[in-house]
Amino acid sequence: MNAVLGIKCGPQHDTGAAVVYENKGQLACVAISEERLSRDKQCRMFPERSIKACLHGAGLRLEDIDLVCLDKLGPDTHTLDHRSINSIPTSIWQEPESDFLKSLGDTPVMIVNHHMAHAATAFCVHDMDDAACLVIDGTGSDYPLSESPHRLIEMSSPQSDESIPLKYYERRAETQSIIKGTRSAKGQIHLTRKSVSTRSGCGHFYSFFTRQALAFGHLQEGKSMGLAAWGDPSIAARLPEIPNDAFQGIDTLMLDYLKEIEFQYSKRPQHVPATDEQYAAFAYWMQATLKQAVIHLARLSLEQCDSRNLCMAGGVALNVVNNRFVLDTLGSEQLLDRMFVQPASSDSGMPLGAALYGYYIIGNGTLPFQKNLVYLGPPLNQLDSETLMLENGAFRSSQLSKDVADLLMEGKIVGWLQGRSEYGPRALGARSILCWPRPKDMKDHLNLRIKHREPFRPFAPIISETRMNEVFDVDFPVPYMLFNTQIRSEFLDRIPAVAHVDGSGRLQTVSSQRTPQLHDLLDEIQRRDQVGVLLNTSFNDAGEPIVETAADAIDCYHRTGLDALVVGDTILVRGKEVKPSNIGNH
């Protein structure tokens, strides 16, 4: 099997596509979320644009695809591993899906179990011979209603101003899974399910209260994580402590326990700031309770899989505070040798998971995945992008890092677009907005002019891998911004714009191999300020997806308060645009 297309279908959020294909002795990949191309955040449309972009980026036609694997949730598509779409009622397909399936002719199409696809994203891209794969999200593939008398807690609508009572509804679906991954000497991969929970788990718990108590809305769990650092532990201690017997193997019955004791909570009114002590303490309690559950599941995973390696995926794996707690705790207990968290852990990674499952599990492929794990977007047409920049008044720079450093040290906010885009929810130096973090008011300045985010949410620091331990309490690379760190006390007043209220930073370490231009820029900054840290946030305005193309970047530049835009080796500076007749002289 040479090429597999993975697709996440609607009507769920974050549709997209991924193509994996054999190329020069490795498994190459192109992957993108539909939102990046449709410009509709958390897009639910059939990913027609993504499919075309991935095929074009891989240099393939649809006829070249050997297998198509879908992630499509619903009661008619439940499966423990995978099943042919020939066994699924045709009535479930939306019109664009049906049209696409007809266009495939005889190409086989499989539905893949949601948690198996998550596990594939975490294990198949790494070089571990074996690992315990822990998958935690809200809910995944449906299970037959007859399998268990237990039901899930209903999430309910987030629109009501009133708090929603904890109640059950008629759905049973996987919420937490432990899957063992093994790789033979010949490269053959096996994924074996060890445990699965169909009860409301810790991801469900965190999502429920993010929506219903903190009133942040759907898919806003990152806000709860940021708010938790503002909470007073003494106030949080008044909230219920989840007893140990709520953790029954793979089940973490936090919501069930709270329902049983008839726990009452109040929903934050929109006019009350999230940092109000009552709600900040509630977020602290949520985070502490999540830690309690996930460390239990991580230990259980290593035990059931008889492994000292841990891979994590699912939306909960994006909680960087929790990830660092797991790493440090299991490491100190001498239970853990290696830990890997998939950068696209949320459902945005499902197309990749479906494609990897198809290649390695269904197709028995054996080639190792490419070394590039995250910069998977379709190749950027550099010539067209730079031409578009020049037409808008940019100039070509022969000393990019020095010219951009000049702008940053002047307090300018710079949009930065280089090469293929990041796969997943975080900007990692390919589609970023950069600032110098020395001015204390830079965070507020950035929020006011461009990001329009809540002031309690932190911005991320980036630093060269060669210097990470000088400024942060970390002795291992953090290339994907997935493990929280503390900023060393002597540097807190030198990079205040990236220091969270508790002195932490959601760090990304930068290497010359992954992002050479950004690494050069950090070196230049370090030569000037002897720290070498920049503020890095995603290149988008509030409510819109991260930019994908140079045209998207230019549009964002014109609509927001960005001072400058860098695409490739071209720089556009507000108020200093080059006249078209003079472009050839720069």
pLDDT value of position 584: 44
Contacting residues for 106 by C-beta, under 8 A, at least 6 apart: none
Residue of 196, 212, 140, 135 whose CA lies nearest to 171: 140
Question: Structurally, how many domains does the chain consist of?
Answer: 3
Q: Tell me, yes or no, whether 355 and 396 share the same domain.
A: no
Angle in degrees, CA 154, 71, 7, rounded to 5: 135
Asked if residue 370 is part of any domain, the answer here is no
Decide if 533 is inside a domain: yes
Claim to verify: residue 92 and residue 238 sit in the same structural domain: no
Provide the pLDDT for residue 209: 97
Residue 375 maps to a domain: no
Same domain, 137 and 273: yes
Gyration radius of the chain's alpha carbons: 24
Residue 171, pLDDT score: 86
Instruction: Give the CATH number of the domain where residue 234 resides.
Output: 3.30.420.40
- Can you give the pLDDT at residue 159? 66
Same domain, 336 and 355: no
Residues (pLDDT < 50) of the chain are 582-586
Same domain, 179 and 314: yes
* Residue ranges of E strands in 188-333: 189-197, 247-248, 251-252, 309-313
Q: Which residues pair with 415 in a beta bridge?
A: 433, 565
Beta-carbon-side half-sphere exposure of residue 486 (alpha carbons within 13 Å): 8
- Backbone φ and ψ of 180, nearest 5°: -90, 130
User: What pLDDT does residue 455 have?
Assistant: 92
* In a domain? residue 346: no
Do both 111 and 173 map to the same domain? no
Q: Is residue 121 part of a domain?
A: no
Tokens, residue 271 = 């006019």
Residue 556 in any domain: the answer is: yes
pLDDT of 583: 47
Q: Of the candidates 112, 65, 16, which has an alpha carbon nearest to the alpha carbon of residue 357?
A: 112
* Same domain? 157 vs 104: no
Instruction: State how far the Cα of 52 lies from the Cα of 57, in Å rounded to an integer.
Output: 8
- Whether residues 33 and 99 fall in one domain: yes
101 and 151 share a domain?
Answer: no
Q: Residue 533 and residue 396: Cα distance in Å, rounded?
A: 25
Q: Say how many Å lie between the first and final Cα of the chain, rounded.
A: 49
pLDDT on residue 158:
61
The CATH number for 560's domain is: 3.90.870.20
Do residues 358 and 406 share a domain? no
Whether 21 is in a domain gets the answer yes
46: containing domain: 3-115+351-362
* Nearest-angstrom CA–CA distance, 327 and 323: 6
Residue 378 region by backbone torsions, left for phi larger than 0, else alpha for psi between -120 and 50, else beta: beta
Mark whether 442 and 569 lie in a shared domain. yes
Out of 362, 397, 419, a domain closes at 362
Q: Are residues 160 and 222 both part of a single domain?
A: yes
Instruction: Give the pLDDT confidence score for residue 162 in this predicted structure.
Output: 78
pLDDT at 580: 66
- Flag whether 408 is in a domain: yes
